[in-house]
Amino acid sequence: MDKEVLSRLKNAGLLSDQTHDLGYVGTGSYALNRIISGKYDQGIPIGMITQFHGESSTSKTVFITHILKEAQAAGHYTLLVDSENAYNSVFATSLGIDPKKLIYAAPEHLEDCFKVMEDTILAIRETDKTTPIVIAYDSIAVSPSKAEAEAEGYEGNNMVGAIRAKATGACLRKINPLMRKHNVALVIINQIRNKIGVMFGSPDTPAAGGKSLEYYLGVNIKCISNKTSDLLKNDSKRIIGVQGRLRNTKNKCSIPFGETSFKLLFDVGIDPYEGLLESLVMDDIVQSPSKGWYEYKSEKFRKSAFYEELPKPDTYLELKKEIGLLQP
């Protein structure tokens, strides 16, 4: 390529000179890290927008809390935009968040939520040009645009969806260029609601953003959990957590449409190892020579023994090194 031509270009350059991998932030689940980034020790991408969407009580808020926790552990800036006004320091601290390092805002309107994000990014970059910024937005579904809030009787207005989608698109067009330019990861929570009268196909529809939000997403994760059959109980029949599935419906980082399981224990948080064995088998790192048995480099074991021993620091060291859970 002619260097003289390149020198005259103000807003363009060679693709080979661009930085595409700005890093990742762990999700709290090694199997989820794998279906998003392709590696067990990575996670959501910095420089892109990630969405967790699903019905209520499917652990979406817990996942973004784990992401904020991982971001703080890595020394990143963290911001929580809480339009639901339901987040508190007791909950955050119980899952490992340092509330003294978490910037918090609870704006009323959609536009104000994105304005807080933009202002925070630019304020940080005045003094720190490089440290990653991780922003969690909980949730876009309950943030009315200013036009919705001001419209007479907007709750029953058939144009609400169109108004929300238009406002969301305008906000995303402004915030999206800041993601890669300023080393930012944005994680959005969205809710799923059912379309009335749908007989064929999926009745699920995102509660906010419409197609405009989908176009801007780098990663889209659907959280699936049944509020009755997926409850976890102890020996005393007391409910201690929930389990479910995570489905990757869009992915610009790795292969899309991956799926894994998750387990949430209320007093601990997300189980980081849930779904890992099944993922290792799919990657042919671990083999399953016969029903109920697994094998890693001639060592045979049962599923229950694997999950019981894996969290211990001195077990499966070679396997942990191979998949990046231990430094070689």
* Least confident segment among 39-53, 137-151, 268-282: 137-151
Task: From 101, 102, 60, select the one nearest 80 (Cα to Cα).
Answer: 102
Distance CA 211, CA 229 (A): 32
The Cα-based distances of 23 to 9, 15, 46 in angstroms read: 28, 18, 6
β-strand pairing of 102-105 with 259-265: unpaired
What residue segments make up the domains of the chain, in order of their start? 19-273, 275-328
Percent of the chain whose pLDDT exceeds 70: 88
| Residue 22, pLDDT score | 87
For 196-241, the pLDDT digits (tens) are 555 555 656 655 667 788 899 999 999 998 877 889 999 898 999 9
Superfamily of domain covering 19-273: P-loop containing nucleotide triphosphate hydrolases (3.40.50.300)
Q: Which residue has the higher pLDDT, 136 or 146?
A: 136
The reported pTM is 0.91
At 125, list the tokens.
């970059």
